[in-house]
Amino acid sequence: MASIPRSVTNLAKSERLEVSARIGRDGVSEALIKEISDQLSRNPLIKIKANKGIATNGEHRREIFSEIARTTESILVFQRGNVAVLWVGK
């Protein structure tokens, strides 16, 4: 796993970084993975949000976000509740 620079971690926790993708009622679909991958190719740090009711508990949310990170070849930098930040270290 790549070392995450402090500046990336600070921005990930900042409210300045806006949500750019949402996990909706369809869950994690191929279209969502493609959208997140496309966003990561343009911007190395993105924030995603799971709509309420998508995950049953915190562990389930962690599993969802970790799977998205693995599928998009990114790093899960930060997760709090139903919000996560992904980064492609460059």
Handedness of CA 33, 66, 74, 83 (dihedral sign): positive
Residue in the structure block whose two tokens are 């994690």: 28
Burial of 89 (C-beta count, 10 Å sphere; 0-12/13-18/19+)? middle
Q: What is the pTM of this model?
A: 0.91
Q: Residue 38 corresponds to which tokens in the numbers above?
A: 């496309």
| Predicted pLDDT of residue 2 | 58
Torsion angle, alpha carbons of 50, 79, 7, 18, to 10: 20
Share of the chain above pLDDT 70, in %: 97
